[in-house]
A and B are shown apart, each in its own frame.
Chain A
Amino acid sequence: MKPGKFLLLIYISLTLMIVPGCWSRRELNSLSISQAIAVDLEPDGKIVLTFLFVKPDSGQKQMGGGSGSGMSYVLVSEKGETLFDTQRDIYLSLPRKLFMGQNSLVIYSEQAARAGLGPLMDLFFRHKDFRLTNYVFVTRGKASDMLKFQPNLESNPVREIFGAITYAHMRVSKTIPKDIKDFLIDLGAPGIEPVLPEIELVPKLAGEELPQSGSSGGGGPSQKTKLRLAGMAVFKEDKFVDWLSPDETRALHFAVAMGHLGIEIIPGPSDKKLAVEIIGGTSKIKPIVKNGRLFIRIESTSAANIGETMGVKGIDNPDLINELNKETENVIRERIEKLVKKAQKEYRSDFMGFGSAIWREMPQYWKEIENEWDELFTEIPVEVVVKVDIKGIGMASDYSNER
C-alpha cells in the first residue's frame, strides 16, 4: 500500500470516530418516558390525558421515601380536542421530549368508553411509538385517579398494575388481560364484541394500613386506597355497555376458554364448604343446526384439584369425589347459564362470540343471518355442557380432630 493511501485510510478512520451521529437521536437524559396514559372525557367533549412519566435519573435509590418529592415518577395532565393534540400540548409544560415506546398501559374512564373507544384508540394504533401490546383498562371513575395510589412493592403504580394483570388471570380468573391488539381483533371480527378488564381503587382494609410516618403533610398519593383488578367492561362495537362482576368474569373464562383456573366454592356434605381449584381445561362454543333450528352449545371441560376441605371428611373416597365433580359442574354450569342470560337479555352484546363461532364453522350460513344477528342473538337457545374432573386431593387425605 502506498503511504499516501495509508494516510488517507487513517484519516478516514479517524474522521469516522468523530463525525457519525444519528439524525433523529434521542438521548436518555433528554427524554420523558411515559409508562401509562389515562384517557378521560370531559362532559364538554374535551379530552384529558394524564401521563405517568418515570424520572430516568431517580431510579431505585429513592424508593420507599414516601414523601411527595421523593417519588420516582410524575403525573402530567393536559386538556385538548384530540389525543394527539393533547399529547403535543404536554410539551408546553415539560422540559423534555416525550417518548412513548415504553408505555405499557392505557386506562380509559367509563365516560370515554361510553363515547366509543374506536376514535380514542386510533392514536395508539397509528403512532409509531406505541406498541399494540399495551394493556387496556376501563375504570368507573376518573381514569387519572387510577395512577394515584401508593404502590406497595414496585417503584410506581404502573409497574404495580402491570405485575398484577400479568399474574392475576392465571391464578384467580376474575380478570382477563387485554391489549390493544386483542381489542382491535375483537372489534374487527364478525359476531363478537370486545371486553376489557376493569380497574378500580378500593379502600384499604383496617389490617393493611401502616402507621403514618409523620411528615405526610400535603400531596403524595393516597395512603388509604389500594389497587383492585376485578371484573370486565362489556362493549357493543366500541361503546361501553355494562360491567361484569368478578364472578361473571370467571364464567366468561369457562365459557370461552380464556383459562380454566381459579377457585370454586362447592357446597359439601353437612353444610360444609369446599374449595376446588380448577387447574386447566378447554371449552368450545359450537353452533349446531338441528331440525332447521340453530342453537349454541358451550362445551367446557376442566380438570381440578381439591384445594381446601374446610372440615369435610373422607375426601379420598371416590364416591365423594364423583359427587363433588357433579357439584362443581353444577356450580359452573349455573354460572355460565346466568352469564348467557345476562348477555342476551340485559346487555344484548355478543361478547362471548356466538356469532363468531357461527362465522367460523358455517361461513355461508353466517352471511345469511349476519344482518339480523343483533336480534337473533338475544333469542338463540344455548345449551351448556360442563365436565369437571377432580384429579388430586393435595398433600393430605384427612385430618382427625374428633375421635
Chain B
Amino acid sequence: MPLEKGKISGKQLTVLYITTIVASAVVFLPGVVAAKAQQDAWISSIIAAITGFFLALLVLRLHSRFPEQNVIQYSRTILGKWPGLITGAGFAWFFIHINAVIIREFGAFLATVLPETPPVVFMALIVLLSAYYVRNGLEVCCRIAEFYFPIFVLQVVVIVLLVVKEVRWQLFEPILGAGWGPVIEGIFPPVMWFGEVITMSMILPYLHDKSQAARSLFLGVLLAGILFFLASFFTIGVFGGDLTANLNFPVFELARTISIAQFLERVDAVLMSFWVAGGVIKITTFNYCAVLGTAQLLNLSDYKPIILPLAVIQVFMALTGWENVGQLKYFINDIIAPYSLILFEGGIPLMLLVIARIRRLGVTK
C-alpha cells in the first residue's frame, strides 16, 4: 500500500523545486559566494546553475529507470537489502540533518533581527507549521508552494528593479581579476543548494504526468538560476565584493538600501515575511522527504505518527547542533560542501546510477 496517494502536476514540481532552492539561497548565499569569489560572485552563480542542470539530470536518469520508486526505495533495489537499507538510512539522515541546518539558519536570521524573542520560538513555530503541511500530504505542500511562488518571484524582481539606480558598474571590475581560481571555489556553496534537487527524487514518483518530469525540473533549475543570479549580481553591484562578503544577510541589506523619493523605503519588513514564508516551504520539503523516507525505511503503513517526533528531533538538532553563529557559518562554508555535495547530492546518486547500469536494473530504453 503506497504511503502517499497524492498526485502533483509538472508545474507544481517546478514551483516546489524553485522555492526549495531559492528561499534560503537569496538570503544567505550571495555573501557566502562573495567571500570566495569577491566581485566575480555573479560568474560563480551562473556556473553553479549550469552544474545544477547536471545534478538534476542525474536525478532524472535514476527516475526514468525506476519511475515508481524514490531514492530510498531504489537504492535498496540497486544495492540489495542491507547496503540499500544503510544507504537509504543515510539519505533519511541527510534530509533530517540538512533540515536542522536550514531551521537553524532561519532561526539565527530572525533572532538577529528580532533579538528579544527566543530563537526556539521561531524554529518551533516554523517546524510546527511545516509539520502540519506534511500531515496533509504532498498535494497540500505543493499547493502552498504554488500559492506563494508568484509573491516570491515578484519580491525578488521588485528589489532588483528598485535598486537598479544604486548599482555602481565600477564595482564589477576587475572581471576575473584573480583568475578562475576564486570563481571555481565560489561555485561550491551554490552548487550544494542546487544539489538539493535530490529532494525531488522523493517527489518525482508522485508526478501525475511522467513525461513532464524532465521539462519541469529543468525549467525549475533555469528559473532558480536566474533568481539566484539576480540576487548575486545586484548585491555585488550595490555593495561590491568586499562588503558583500562581510554581510551576513546581503539581500536583506540590499532591500534596506531601497529608497525611492524618500517615500518608498523600509520595505525590508515586508520582504522578511516573504522570506520566512519561503523558508517554511523549504523546510516543509525537507521535512516531507525525511518523514516519508523514515516511514519507508521502517516499513510503516502510515507516515503520520512520526511527523511530530521528527519535528521535535529536528528542532532539537537545530538548537543544539551548533553552539553559535560562528560554528554554523564554519559548518555551512567549509564542512557541508564535501559532506552533502560529494556524498548525498552527487556521489551516491552517481554510484547508484552506475551500478544500476552495470546490473541492468530498472527500465531501459
Q: Is B257's CB under 8 angstroms from A184's CB?
A: no
B residues 4-25 in Cβ contact with A at 8 Å = none
Chain B nearest CB, measured from A209 CB (Å): 31
Q: Does B306 contact A (CB under 8 A)?
A: no
- Please tell me which one of the listed residues B113, B114, B257 contacts residue A132 in the complex, with CB atoms under 8 A apart: B257
Residue of A nearest to B258 (CB): A133
Q: Does B121 contact A (CB under 8 A)?
A: yes
Q: How far is the CA of A131 from the CA of B238 in the complex (A)?
A: 14
B residues 164-207 in Cβ contact with A at 8 Å = 170-171, 173-174, 177-178
Q: How far is the CA of A220 from the CA of B226 in the complex (A)?
A: 57
Chain A, residues 340-361, CB within 8 Å of chain B (1/0): the string is 0000000000000000000111
Q: Is B117's CB under 8 angstroms from A133's CB?
A: no
Given A101-B266, A133-B256, residue A363 in contact with residue B243 (CB < 8 A):
no
Q: Does B106 contact A (CB under 8 A)?
A: no
Given A133-B259, A363-B174, residue A128 in contact with residue B116 (CB < 8 A):
no
Residues of A within 8 A of B238 (CB): 181
Residues of B within 8 A of A189 (CB): 240, 242
Chain B, residues 213-250, CB within 8 Å of chain A (1/0): the string is 00000000000000000000000001110110010000
Q: Is B266's CB under 8 angstroms from A23's CB?
A: no
- Please tell me which one of the listed residues B173, B239, B266 contacts residue A360 in the complex, with CB atoms under 8 A apart: B173
Q: Is A128's CB under 8 angstroms from B174's CB?
A: no
Chain B, residues 263-307, CB within 8 Å of chain A (1/0): the string is 000100000000000000000000000000000000000000000
Q: Is B113's CB under 8 angstroms from A128's CB?
A: yes
Q: Is B174's CB under 8 angstroms from A24's CB?
A: no
Chain B nearest CB, measured from A60 CB (Å): 17
Residues of A within 8 A of B320 (CB): none
Q: How far is the CA of A316 from the CA of B253 in the complex (A)?
A: 52
Q: Is A363's CB under 8 angstroms from B242's CB?
A: no
Q: How far is the CA of A181 from the CA of B259 in the complex (A)?
A: 14
- Please tell me which one of the listed residues A101, A185, A361 contacts residue B243 in the complex, with CB atoms under 8 A apart: A185
Given A101-B266, A131-B257, residue A185 in contact with residue B239 (CB < 8 A):
yes
Given A23-B114, A24-B116, A132-B257, residue A188 in contact with residue B174 (CB < 8 A):
no
Q: Is A188's CB under 8 angstroms from B178's CB?
A: no
Chain B nearest CB, measured from A102 CB (Å): 9
Q: Is B170's CB under 8 angstroms from A24's CB?
A: no
Residues of A within 8 A of B121 (CB): 23
Q: Does B112 contact A (CB under 8 A)?
A: yes
Given A359-B177, A363-B177, A363-B178, residue A188 in contact with residue B112 (CB < 8 A):
no
Q: How far is the CA of A131 from the CA of B256 in the complex (A)?
A: 7
Residues of A within 8 A of B114 (CB): 23-24
Q: Does B115 contact A (CB under 8 A)?
A: yes
Q: How far is the CA of A23 from the CA of B257 in the complex (A)?
A: 26
Q: How far is the CA of A189 from the CA of B170 in the complex (A)?
A: 11
Chain A, residues 360-400, CB within 8 Å of chain B (1/0): the string is 11010000000000000000000000000000000000000
Residues of A within 8 A of B113 (CB): 128
- Please tell me which one of the listed residues A101, A133, A361 contacts residue B257 in the complex, with CB atoms under 8 A apart: A133
Given A185-B243, A189-B240, residue A360 in contact with residue B170 (CB < 8 A):
yes
Residue of B nearest to A23 (CB): B117
A residues 9-46 in Cβ contact with B at 8 Å = 23-24
Given A23-B117, A24-B114, A188-B240, residue A132 in contact with residue B256 (CB < 8 A):
yes
Chain A, residues 93-133, CB within 8 Å of chain B (1/0): the string is 00000000100000000000000000000000000100111
Residues of B within 8 A of A23 (CB): 114, 116-117, 121
Q: How far is the CA of A185 from the CA of B243 in the complex (A)?
A: 6
Q: How far is the CA of A197 from the CA of B114 in the complex (A)?
A: 33
Residues of A within 8 A of B117 (CB): 23-24
Q: How far is the CA of A361 from the CA of B170 in the complex (A)?
A: 11
Q: Is B112's CB under 8 angstroms from A128's CB?
A: yes
A24, A131, A185 — which one has the most chain B CB atoms within 10 A of its CB? A185
Residue of A nearest to B240 (CB): A185
Residues of B within 8 A of A101 (CB): 266
Q: How far is the CA of A24 from the CA of B114 in the complex (A)?
A: 7
Residue of B nearest to A26 (CB): B116
A residues 174-198 in Cβ contact with B at 8 Å = 181, 184-185, 188-189
Chain B, residues 320-360, CB within 8 Å of chain A (1/0): the string is 00000000000000000000000000000000000000000
A24, A101, A188 — which one has the most chain B CB atoms within 10 A of its CB? A188
Q: How far is the CA of A361 from the CA of B112 in the complex (A)?
A: 39
Residues of A within 8 A of B242 (CB): 185, 188-189
Q: How far is the CA of A359 from the CA of B39 in the complex (A)?
A: 13
Residue of B nearest to A190 (CB): B242
Residue of A nearest to B249 (CB): A128
Residues of B within 8 A of A185 (CB): 171, 239-240, 242-243
Given A128-B112, A181-B239, residue A361 in contact with residue B174 (CB < 8 A):
yes
Q: How far is the CA of A223 from the CA of B256 in the complex (A)?
A: 37
Q: How far is the CA of A181 from the CA of B177 in the complex (A)?
A: 23
B residues 99-131 in Cβ contact with A at 8 Å = 112-117, 121
Q: How far is the CA of A133 from the CA of B253 in the complex (A)?
A: 10
Residues of B within 8 A of A184 (CB): 243
Q: How far is the CA of A101 from the CA of B253 in the complex (A)?
A: 13
Residue of B nearest to A125 (CB): B246
A residues 209-237 in Cβ contact with B at 8 Å = none
Chain B nearest CB, measured from A130 CB (Å): 9
Q: How far is the CA of A185 from the CA of B241 in the complex (A)?
A: 9
A-B contact pairs, 28 of them (CB 8 A): A23-B114, A23-B116, A23-B121, A24-B115, A24-B117, A101-B266, A128-B112, A128-B113, A131-B256, A131-B257, A132-B253, A132-B257, A133-B256, A133-B257, A181-B238, A181-B239, A181-B243, A181-B257, A184-B243, A185-B171, A185-B240, A188-B240, A188-B242, A188-B246, A359-B177, A360-B173, A363-B174, A363-B177
Interface residues of B (CB under 8 A from A): 112-117, 121, 170-171, 173-174, 177-178, 238-240, 242-243, 246, 253, 256-257, 259, 266
Inter-chain pairs besides A23-B121, A131-B256, 12 sampled, C-beta below 8 Å? A24-B114, A24-B116, A128-B112, A132-B257, A133-B256, A181-B239, A184-B243, A185-B171, A185-B239, A188-B243, A188-B246, A361-B173
Interface pairs A-B: 6 shortest CB-CB: A188-B242, A363-B177, A360-B173, A24-B116, A23-B117, A363-B174
